[in-house]
Amino acid sequence: MTTAFDEYMRPGKRGYLIGIGGVSMAPLAEVLHGEGLSITGSDIQHSDKVIHLESLGIRVNIGHDAANITPELDFVIRTAAARDDNPEVRAAREMNIPVFERTQAWGALMKRYKNALCIAGTHGKTTTTSMCTHILMAAEKDPTVMIGGTLPLLHAGHRVGSGDTIVMESCEYYDSFLAFYPTIAVILDIDADHLDYFADLEAIKASFRRFARLVSPGGTVIANRDDANTMSALADLDRPMLTFGLTPEADVQAVNIISKGAQTDFDVLYRGQPFTHLHLQVPGLHNVKNALAAAAAAITLGISPTAVKYGLAGFQGANRRFEFKGKFNGADVYDDYSHHPGELQALLDAVEPLGYKRVILVFQPHTYSRTRALFGEFVRQLQRPDLTILAEIYAARETNTLGISSASLAKEIPGSIFRPTFDEIETILRASIQPGDLVLTVGAGDVYKIGEDLVASGK
């Protein structure tokens, strides 16, 4: 597609969004509608997001059907899950209607802002984007925000502001973030993931380097000084760079770190000089680093230390990021989106010092390809809890052509339990949970429903 989406950003243009109820598609539809474009779309099912869009006057078809695509449409935008064989994509192309990726549309919108803060990395994107949002709101910058999850502060995963700053969670999968136009590009870390698309770690690093080089003249790349893959990928980069981390070599550094249960206090130094003191209400060193990345972004934007301090003091996490769901039989039930071994490690590192009697982990692997590619690393992390219960793999966009199952993991993890249905897992949990336990439902699929059912039944 050589046509730029910019030329369609005019009132009266008619667009159709495939997968309009998605995390990034729903706010895109709302923003385009607010710009005066005529927007319709489709999704596979009704949802709260679809209902909200319909309340704005945006018509949504349930199900994908070629008949939904009509000649008067000026363009179609598709979600990443809508591949070339999608009937609506095929129909649009048969009618010579331009088909854009959602990131192309967001990229065109991004150009309208003086500051485009793009948060990338294999892990931590949602949390760091949320932290940046808290800081920008505390600084009264009235930002436009796009997050890959719900932020309690916004009661949504997005916000349409009238300020000069947009903050955008930026995903590397399918090189999506290469359609963006960052003035500030944050790279939190680089790890092997999405190996159904990338050939290997070196291909992933090359993609992140291309992302960093998208930074506009006068912009800044913010990079994790503690992460060897990130620093290797950005070696000799011809862009201004600001680093963060725990090492003294980092431009933005955390010192005097004190953990108190799920809370963490530390001082932030900027190039060796005191910048601010932070009090986080989320546990773990990974969140200290996420906060440092957000502080580095704030420094680049000229935001005051006071706004950073108070913005992050009010941050209690994004939904599905160590989110407290309630109690069952005297145990605390939390949910977390971790679906990569590196994220599991960070989560378990964070909860082990919290003093619970036992850690019970209910894990739902996400995609067959990731489970196979990172099998050994999953086994190492899943051996750590006192009890690991495995749900079946959440297929997401895939079909199981690899012949792999969560039962394959269970065979390698002593004492673990595999059950194919949520009902069976809940039965085991009801019989196992004791006062003082920590119960974690973990994964990027629908495993959170198990914890919610337990909490509801215990009230």
Q: Kindly list the catalytic residues.
A: 125-126, 169
Query: Would you tell me how many other CB atoms lie within 10 Å of the CB of residue 199?
Result: 9
Taking the alpha carbons at both ends of the chain, their separation in whole angstroms is 54
Fill in the DSSP letter of residue 67: G
- Measure the CA–CA gap between 88 and 85, rounded to whole angstroms: 9
Sign of the torsion formed by the C-alpha atoms of 224, 226, 232 and 237? positive
Instruction: Render 211-263 in DSSP notation, one character per residue.
Output: HHTTSPTT-EEEEETT-HHHHHHTTT-SS-EEEEESSTTSSEEEEEEEEETTE
The CB-side HSE value for 313 (13 A sphere, CA atoms) comes to 11
- Measure the CA–CA gap between 268 and 98, rounded to whole angstroms: 48
Burial class (CB in 10 A: 0-12, 13-18, 19+), 344: buried
Strand pairing class (417-418; 323-328)? unpaired
- Measure the CA–CA gap between 221 and 13, rounded to whole angstroms: 35
- Measure the CA–CA gap between 182 and 164, rounded to whole angstroms: 13
